[in-house]
Structure 1
Amino acid sequence: MKRLYKTLSTLASVSGSLLVLGAFIALWWAASTGGWVNRAFLPSPQATLESLVQGLASGDLAAYTWATLSRMFSGWLLASALGISLGALIGASARAREWIAPTLEFIRPLPASAVMPLAIALFGLSGNMVLAVVAFGAMWPVLLATLHGLAHVHPQLREVSRSLELGHLNFVFKIGLPNAMPDILAGMRLSLTVSLIVSVVGEMIASQPGLGQAILLAARSFQASELFAGIVLLGAMGFVSNVLLALVERSLLRWQHP
């Protein structure tokens, strides 16, 4: 009975999501075909789909998509590695948190776009510049999540580590990081979204091959259907990557959902 209820609840959720998506597309179609907005700025869903299929078939849009995906995942992996390492280093030590936390709170609010001029000065208008900015912007959700998870290890677990005479590194790897894993995975999901956003912005500013550059060029040449095709593709990329990471998170944390 419980499994049946869960299945029905999932079907209801999926049906509701599809209904909202259908309503959005219908409103989009009505706005474009009914003359609410000039078609030069708002193409119809059919025109957008045609541009999307044509771009993927010709290979240009597929190449741009691959470039953005590569940049996004490379920056995300680098950000995750840096965030977990720094978060574990700082979060495992109360004194380190006291000393470093003010500096982190000073740097953390800086938007990645504000750091781009500095990155351009250091790396030039290159792919490495975009990668560095993506890693900087996407690092913070993982770092703060790791820091929070390690700082809030249950006192009894700390007593167990002292009773077992675990060293600092053993405590981090055997108790701290496993305890912080739910926070870390949640931070990594948010970080993946940030990495996609910063990748697109970086491609626009640095004129690097990718969907950001394709969307910018389409906007400048008033090719609305190609512009919307790129936006739809970005949304699909973000949705699919988030779903896949959510499945991985659910698999790794299945002990939390008996």
Structure 2
Amino acid sequence: MSARTTTGSTWLGSIALLAALVALWWVASNAGWVSRVFLPTPQATLASLAEGLRADLLDFTWATVSRMLLGWLLASLVGVALGAAIGVSPTVRAWVQPTLEFIRPLPASALLPLAISIFGLSPGMVLFVVAFGAMWPVLLATVHGFATVEPRLGEVARCLQMPRAAFVWKVGLPNAMPDILAGMRLALTISLIVAVVGEMIASQSGLGQAILLAARAFRASDLFAGIVLLGLIGFASNALLALAEKKLLRWQRP
């Protein structure tokens, strides 16, 4: 079976599963298995989505996406820079690794009260928490990528008296690129989650605030419309980054 046929079968299976889930949702809501106060019908959700996009839902979506992307870019830049500085030196890795393992498990949402006390209820506070939460997958993936460089390549670089910066750019970064891109894909998902949570807690304009207000007003169709939009944002951003990863790593394919 060719790779194209396998890919086509995978897509058909994914579409069939999604259609089955939507059908189950339709049956459960229309048959009254779950009250429509909590589970609206798919058609009501689509109507709320269309109406919201004609009103202010598009502005809320743009606010969330821009916050997510900016936090993700900051996290990627800081994570790659720090990860390269740590990963290229075994001594620095030995010193810093315990501290990284201590800070890494801290949920970004747990730092929201601290961030609020420092930045207040401002867009900068949400951006800081998004960048902090999304930085760790990139940082740890970069450290791992640089730490796994073939030792003989380091010996060759020393024999050639290659500067450290040149070694990082020409040897370490290409070796770490698969790990870095994998970390960036995970960080993009985290940045979306933290952006929504930050908007809910800090009352910042965005899909998080729109979903929270819909839930408080028992507008189930509006709530589900926001959730559908978040799913579409996550799916589209992950697909675009996967495509970029495929292009950037095409030199790895035989």
State the TM-score, normalizing by the size of structure 1: 0.97
**Is 2:225 the counterpart of 1:235?**
no
Superposed counterparts of 1:26-175, under 5 Å: 26-58=23-55, 60-175=56-171
Superposed counterparts of 1:210-249, under 5 Å: 210-249=206-245
The Cα shift of 1:66 comes to 0.2
Number of aligned residue pairs: 254
Which of residues 241, 245, 251 in structure 1 aligns to 2:247?
Answer: 251
Look up the match of 1:20.
Answer: 17
Gaps of 5+ in 1: none
Between the aligned partners of 2:68 and 2:37, the Cα distance in structure 1 is 31
Look up the match of 1:198.
Answer: 194
Between the aligned partners of 2:19 and 2:149, the Cα distance in structure 1 is 45
Task: Give the RMSD, CA atoms, in angstroms.
Answer: 0.8
The Cα shift of 1:83 comes to 0.4
Between the aligned partners of 1:233 and 1:241, the Cα distance in structure 2 is 12
Range with greater deviation from structure 2 (196-205 or 168-177): 168-177
The Cα shift of 1:156 comes to 2.1
- Shift >3 Å, 4+ stretches: none
Between the aligned partners of 2:131 and 2:225, the Cα distance in structure 1 is 27
State the TM-score, normalizing by the size of structure 2: 0.98
Residue deviations 1:75-122, cap 9 Å, x none? 000000010011011111111111111111111110001111110010
Between the aligned partners of 1:137 and 1:170, the Cα distance in structure 2 is 30
Code of the residue aligned with 1:39 in structure 2: it is R
State the SS of the aligned residue for 1:201: helix
Identity, % of aligned positions: 67
State the SS of the aligned residue for 2:204: coil
Between the aligned partners of 2:243 and 2:169, the Cα distance in structure 1 is 24
Gaps of 5+ in 2: none
State the SS of the aligned residue for 1:165: coil
